[in-house]
Amino acid sequence: MTARIQNTANQPGIMTGVEHLFKEVYSGGVPSQTLELVHLRASQINGCSACVDAGGKSGAKAGVSPEKLLAVAAWYENPLFDDAERAALALTEAATRLADRPGAVTDEIWAEAARHYNERQLGALVLMVAITNFFNRINTTFRIPAGATWD
């Protein structure tokens, strides 16, 4: 696959804006390992190879075990994930799959997430899902290959 954008320098200011968003996400009080699992799961759903690759690497760097990284696609019944991670991943899937059904983020999904995270943390989780979906759409449209970086 050939990338459709060859010179990322032609995209001025994109990374500066994104860095501000990530700063807000990571200062929201959610464990960094959970944020990395959220990023990886949304990227898997969207089929973004660049983000799945980056998510695996950043998850490992954040201390997520290789077993958990390999299991995130099947988190639902896997004992490696605690209740808070399950709530974050359920919220991730619902917010990523908005078109699958009306009201995808049900009151039950939200209530379970709210049982484990305060409002600031919920905001950080939702922002991480949104940023990930944003990147997934850019990278898949531009055909950014796994391992590529924005300079």
Close Cβ partners of 106 (under 8 Å, ≥ 6 residues apart): 94
Q: What is the pTM of this model?
A: 0.88
Of 103 and 4, the structure prediction assigns the larger pLDDT to 103
State both tokens at 73: 């696609």
What pLDDT was estimated at residue 18?
Answer: 75
Q: How far is CA 20 from CA 10, 13, 57, 107, 149, in A?
A: 20, 11, 21, 30, 18
**How many Å apart are CA 120 and CA 134, to the nearest integer?**
21
State both tokens at 143: 């055909």
| E strand or H helix at 33 | helix 32-46
- How is the chain split into domains, by residue range? 21-142
Write down the CATH superfamily of domain 21-142: AhpD-like (1.20.1290.10)
Phi, psi of 130 (to 5 degrees): -65, -45
Neighbouring C-beta atoms of residue 52, cutoff 10 Å: 22
CA atoms within 13 A on the CB side of 32: 13
Q: What pLDDT, in 10s, does the model give residues 72-130? A: 999 999 999 999 999 999 999 999 999 988 889 999 999 999 999 999 999 999 999 99
